[in-house]
Structure 1
Amino acid sequence: MTIKAILFDMDGVLIDAKEWHYEALNKALDLFGMKISRFDHLTTFDGLPTKKKLEMLSKERHLPSELHDFINEMKQQYTMEIVHTQCKPQFIHEYALSSLKAEGYKIAVCSNSIRNTVTTMMDKAALSGYIDLMISNEDVTHGKPDPEMYQLAMKTLGFKPEECLIVEDNENGIKAAKAAGGHLLVVRDVHDTNYTNISSRIKTL
């Protein structure tokens, strides 16, 4: 079975945005004296949608649930401020996506972020032109670790799971990729997401 599509997670895979989400969420939480530590963020919250993070904080630290919408709104605003100043094109990613596109692969981005964040980051990183499909947490009922996002991408592109390679970096995304039945390439950070690594993974398949 040949690989026909490559589905990328966004944060930590194509965009080095983990710190940005951490900073933005903490800035919003700090309005109510509720900051989370970097350790907690990396071990517990990494890769989850903001809404899910806030639900967890309500359970664990009694964050009033009526504050969720406001904190979420502020977090998105703070994220956008960071994106507009820090999100820039990276040669390794432009090279990887343009080369894969030229070789005939379909390319999708599947992210637990909201749609506005996904489209803005992809535009700022100059990657939008190579992407056939973008899926955000607003397009599904359940974000990762649920496989729904990857299943939707496969269905929309018209490929079977075994025809898709999924590029992921964190536990929640890896769970989603495995449950969706796709092949997996796990990267440690955005620098691992390069043409050499992706094409050699495809060759092994």
Structure 2
Amino acid sequence: MLRAVLFDLDGVLVNACDLHFEALNRALEPYGCPIPYEEHLAGFNGLPTAVKLKRLSEEGKLPLDAHEPVHQAKQKYTIELIEDRIEPDSTKVELLEILRLSGLKIGVCSNAITESVGRMLKAVGVERLPHLVLGNEAVSNNKPYPDIYWAACQRLGLQPYESTIVEDSPIGLQAAEAAGPRSVIAVSGPQEVNVTLLNRILEEPQELRRAA
């Protein structure tokens, strides 16, 4: 029985993937190691900032003592871009309101830090609708590990097989499938996350569902 729908944030409820890319590269600019866009999509998209910086250091591109200033600068730029670019989205409000009226719990599980998650949900206009919001501080192992989805189910008082997860990136989909939910819905962007997704959410589960 379906009891909850768990959403990723970036690339699902909010079009923030490019925003994070731009904010990070602004922060990396003083160190001369920006990440090319295609490389970011292929290997960095969906990872927490700390993991991205660790990877750059392992590749010899960023000194370890730069992590903290880069992280702080990236968060500053992220907040500025959220305020400048993310707008209210009535399609997300409508979908989440219908899910709540259907008696389903709603969770948002993101690899972004909690402050950014809250700001983005507020910018879109859905901050009052999720029953639970988890950022990357909620667990020790972030996506692609399934821990954040397990934590969400535990806090909502249900089993993973009673949830459906909506994800977009390969990293997020790996975490979602490993969590053992009722079903996983893969979307290619926030434009697919609207009331037309309801049938996919409510229908009988399969191993992996892709939004039409």
Question: What TM-score, normalized by structure 1, do the two folds share?
Answer: 0.97
What's the CA shift for 1:88?
1.4
Letter in 2 for 1:55: K
State the distance in 1 between where 2:84 and 2:157 align.
37
Alpha-carbon displacement from aligned partner over 1:6-56 (angstroms, at most 9, x marks no partner): 000000000000010000000000121111100111001010000000000
SS state at 2:2 partner? coil
SS state at 1:93 partner? helix
SS state at 2:31 partner? coil
- Give 2:43's aligned residue: 44
CA contact (8 A) 2:185 2:200 kept: no
- Give 1:23's aligned residue: 22
SS state at 1:121 partner? helix
- Give 2:200's aligned residue: 200
Alpha-carbon displacement from aligned partner over 1:146-201 (angstroms, at most 9, x marks no partner): 11100000000011111100000011111111111012000011011122223333
Letter in 1 for 2:158: F
Written as runs of structure 1 = structure 2, the 5 A alignment for 1:122-137 is 122-137=121-136
Alpha-carbon displacement from aligned partner over 1:69-125 (angstroms, at most 9, x marks no partner): 110000000000000111111121111111111111100000000010011111111
Letter in 2 for 1:190: P
Unaligned runs of 5+ residues in structure 2 are 206-212
State the distance in 1 between where 2:157 and 2:169 align.
26
Greater RCO, 1 or 2 (C-alpha within 8 Å, sep 6+): 1
Q: Bigger shift: 58-67 or 43-52? A: 58-67
Ranges of 4+ aligned residues in structure 1 off by more than 6 Å: none
CA contact (8 A) 2:33 2:61 kept: no
SS state at 2:128 partner? helix
RMSD: 0.9
State the distance in 2 between where 1:181 and 1:145 align.
13
Letter in 1 for 2:191: H
- Give 2:148's aligned residue: 149
Does residue 88 in structure 1 map to residue 101 in structure 2? no
Unaligned runs of 5+ residues in structure 1 are none
Between the aligned residues of both structures, percent identity stands at: 38
- Give 1:187's aligned residue: 187
- Give 2:73's aligned residue: 74
State the distance in 2 between where 1:168 and 1:140 align.
18
State the distance in 2 between where 1:28 and 1:20 align.
12
SS state at 1:129 partner? coil
- Give 1:54's aligned residue: 53
- Paired residues, number: 204
What's the CA shift for 1:129?
1.2
